[in-house]
A and B are shown apart, each in its own frame.
Chain A
Amino acid sequence: MSIILDHVNYIYEAGTAMEYAALKDVCLTIPDGQFIGLIGHTGSGKSTLVQHLNGLLAPTSGNVYYNGADIHDSDYNRKELRSKVGLVFQYPEHQLFEIDVFSDVCYGPKNLGLDKKETELRAYAALKQVGLEDDFFYQSPFDLSGGQKRRVAIAGVLAMKPEVLILDEPTAGLDPKGRDEILDQIAKLREETGMTVILVSHSMEDVAKYVDRIIVMNKGQVMFDDVPKEVFRHYKELEEVGLAAPQVTYIMQALKENGLPVDTDITTIEEAKTAILQALNR
């Protein structure tokens, strides 16, 4: 089972003077259970791309298939698709609105038409999945910290039991600990449930640490699509399009240039430490 984008083009305001191609001939296959990092500078087409995955936008030309079915067929149930492909927008806490945390998380499953018991069970499980303590359940979501609010918002999507979870910069504005906590939680969740996770991020360090595949968007096209090590090997091309390699990759390059025999395609601190210790003891 998978999501397939087949020659997808998307043009904003087609036929006007403002016409702008946001996606150009995008072909991608996203199999079940992958942890994908989607990177690209502002305006590269990332957000337009993710909105195609749950049918919020329809391609100007080309097709999007979910588990083999074309999601824009006239008889396709797109409402159901949106519960299967959960999208957590940037600053999702701005969308909290209920009087307490628990009711807010219940909103999604309730709208799916589930009965009260099932709705509440799902809300409870989702809040547990994001690691929120019971003490907070009946507080107003507006009294929580930034990191907690964001967890509640993510729980709201998880309560729909999505098969694919898309997060658009889930850590923007969080402190470093809050950032690690959210990403660790998502990684754990993915291991436990086997769901597909697509992480849109501006942090190369986070992407390098967590994902097993990186898709790089530039000017509406897929520029690279590979494992992190291979993608970050192209750090010069990435820099040209407003991106970069993780800082640790540049550290390894500096060490190598100065005579330490280490690999330069290293993307995490852990790998770097091992490689440097080995090189020093040689």
Chain B
Amino acid sequence: MGIIETKDLVFEYIRRDEEGNVEGITRAVDGVNLNVNQGDFIAILGHNGSGKSTLAKHINAILYPTEGTVWVDGKDTSDDANLWEVRQKAGMVFQNPDNQIIGQVVEEDVGFGPENLGVPTEEIWERVKESLKAVGMYEFRKHSPNKLSGGQKQRVSIAGVIAMHPKCIVLDEPTAMLDPNGRKEVIRATRALNDVEEITVILITHYMEEIIHANKVFVMDKGKVAMEGTPKEIFSQVDKLKSLRLDVPQVTLLAHELRKSGVAIPEGILTREELVAALGLGKR
């Protein structure tokens, strides 16, 4: 069994009018089957309202399935007895850095999670140190989070999750509010966690170029998984992605346009290096 597994997952919420009468039911997630292996880097794409955030919130039991089951490391998330274990194993980072930092000092903020888990004090400090080092924020440990840039705040949020020693980290549009440098810092830290610490990563984003290194991409539409494959397989389908309100990285789009104009290159080019090679340039 994988680290995260969902079987026929359905989530519905009930819309009510001002008097509380039921107006209708929205099916935000509709029959999703996922199987994520330990150490994977998974990307989830999808337009606004496609159900990707609702799906993500099931992974650390913020939401429970209406139908179907979600297992985190073999534990059924809808069983209350598993709640703490599920949340410790699958941590979550959200879009707005200012909504998820509570400590007055960076290292206190990072220590908040393990403290709540009842970790002994000495070990908390050890965990804070290693987590801040993992995201490259150790030198800021005595700083006030207020004075940090957006990218730095997000990295502190990520450190706060790592300090709980999760097996999996879910990031829901962690770069949406950041400038180009901040985006780069956060993605770099995320990839390092996956490569070095072998933490499973589930990244939700609207920036296509952030996910070209993922092992697997899921594209959501109307609560269902509409496409599933490697970045190359997914980004080879430019027109289908566009019909799902998505996009491809600029290099992929440029290659696609060149191909349409008769240049003999394959679809699904993901990097500059691949384009250089496909055009038969460079050192041979």
Q: A146–B150 Cα gap in the complex (Å)?
A: 22
CB-CB under 8 A from B273, the residues of chain A are 254
Is there a chain B Cβ closer than 8 Å to A194's Cβ?
no
- A145, B250: Cβ atoms under 8 Å? no
Is there a chain A Cβ closer than 8 Å to B245's Cβ?
yes
CB-CB under 8 A from A269, the residues of chain B are 250, 253-254, 257
Interface residues in A107-160 by Cβ distance below 8 A to B read 145-147
Q: How many residues of A contact B (CB 8 A)?
A: 37
- A243, B181: Cβ atoms under 8 Å? yes
- A173, B206: Cβ atoms under 8 Å? yes
Interface size class of B (residues with CB under 8 A): 35 or more
Is there a chain A Cβ closer than 8 Å to B247's Cβ?
yes
**Residue of A179, A258, A269 with most chain B CB atoms under a 10 A cut-off:** A258
Q: A251-B275, A273-B257 are in contact. Are A177 and B177 (CB under 8 A)?
A: no
The tally of CB-CB contacts under 8 A between chains A and B is 111
- B149, A277: Cβ atoms under 8 Å? no
- Per-position binary interface string of chain A over residues 227-254, scored 1 when its CB falls under 8 Å from any chain B CB and 0 otherwise: 0000000000000001110111011001
Interface residues in A245-282 by Cβ distance below 8 A to B read 246-248, 250-251, 254-255, 258-260, 269, 272-273, 276-277, 280
- B263, A280: Cβ atoms under 8 Å? yes
Q: Which of A177, A251, A259 contacts B242 (CB 8 A)?
A: A177
CB-CB under 8 A from B242, the residues of chain A are 177
Is there a chain A Cβ closer than 8 Å to B54's Cβ?
no
Is there a chain B Cβ closer than 8 Å to A11's Cβ?
no
Is there a chain B Cβ closer than 8 Å to A172's Cβ?
yes
CB-CB under 8 A from B258, the residues of chain A are 273, 276-277
Q: A69–B251 Cα gap in the complex (Å)?
A: 47
Residues of A within 8 A of B (CB): 40-43, 145-147, 172-179, 202, 204-205, 242-244, 246-248, 250-251, 254-255, 258-260, 269, 272-273, 276-277, 280
> How close is A279's CB to chain B, nearest CB, in angstroms?
10
Complex: chain A residue closest to B272, CB-CB: A254
CB-CB under 8 A from B46, the residues of chain A are 175
The 9 closest A-B pairs by CB, nearest first: A177-B245, A176-B247, A242-B181, A175-B47, A258-B282, A258-B281, A247-B250, A254-B272, A146-B48
> How close is A97's CB to chain B, nearest CB, in angstroms?
15
Q: Which of B48, B250, B275 contacts A246 (CB 8 A)?
A: B250
